[in-house]
Structure 1
Amino acid sequence: MKKVVLSFLIGGCLSLALTAQAQDTAMPAGYTERVADEEPDQTVLFRRASDWVENHFSYSPKKLISTDAAKGELRAEGTVKVKTTTTSGQLQERPVQFEFVFHTLASGYDYSVGQLRIAPDPKKPDETVPFEEFVAQLAAERTNARTHNDRRVTAQASSLTSEIAMSFRSYMNSRPAAGAVE
């Protein structure tokens, strides 16, 4: 009986350890949401999203990639910064470009913050690589066991994309009541 209980305890501990290890793997940073609206007015939704990008999008330098009012589509690019740690413990900022995409739907709208690209060399912010590729490079560095830059950068990027999405969603939720002048 003791051997059976002991084997269950050991098996349980091993499965917990494997679960914890699986959570260490990096997930791609980004955010996507589909928002249902009971009475969607696609023109109003598109105007609100355009207004947010033009007047409340504080992630500069920014660039409007495309806008199509007829299709209800909007794409913009912005920039945020993440910090890595050097072997000496100094923080180094790196610019990360992201893409904001908005679509109106018959039942509301959807939006995403993603397509992250990072500048491996902060002195050359125009030379970027896909975010996942950069994180893989960080994970392969021999100093990563000490700096944990792969997890640090992934956590920062996830937090920033969520923050951008919350800012947009908050703005969209604060739209005037029906019949009010915009």
Structure 2
Amino acid sequence: MFKDLKNGFQVCLLDKSQKTPVYKIGNVVSVSAPRLDSRPMPPGQIPSPMMYSERVIDLTVECDGQTNTYVVQENANVASIASLTLACSVEPILNEVRAIHKTSTDIIASVDRHKEVVAKCEDILKELNPAYADSKAQNQRIDKIEAAISGVADSVRQIQQFLQSSTIKTRKE
């Protein structure tokens, strides 16, 4: 639990603010005394003293040369703060990484199915909307023309390089 941490203890951090998650280990710099933290009441709720108050601590952690202070529940083992997961041990981080991994694996596995859906939807759009079919056909013709022009440009470059190398050899002789 966060309340049991002492100066010098290590905590685990999982930063999900980047393109890919980054795992880090931080060192506890200080732990404040527990205090009550009151959250605003949702509209229409009847006030209750314990309902929206929780005991929290200020946990100051040094990681990668930076020191940050986080407000966490004193009896918790893990806290999510924006795109950061802070944990007393590695297990909650492992669970989070497994969840991220599963989500990405599921997305990758569904790519082929979604490609089929896109192709089928395009077929239906072509059938229902002749203007869409004409536009797609025109785009395909333009793509073929661009590819052909690119091939011609490559051939011209190769011929130029050949002529330049032939001219250099002839001059040397």
TM-score by length of 2: 0.25
TM-score by length of 1: 0.24
Higher relative contact order (CA 8 A, sep 6+): 1
Structure having the higher helix fraction is: 2
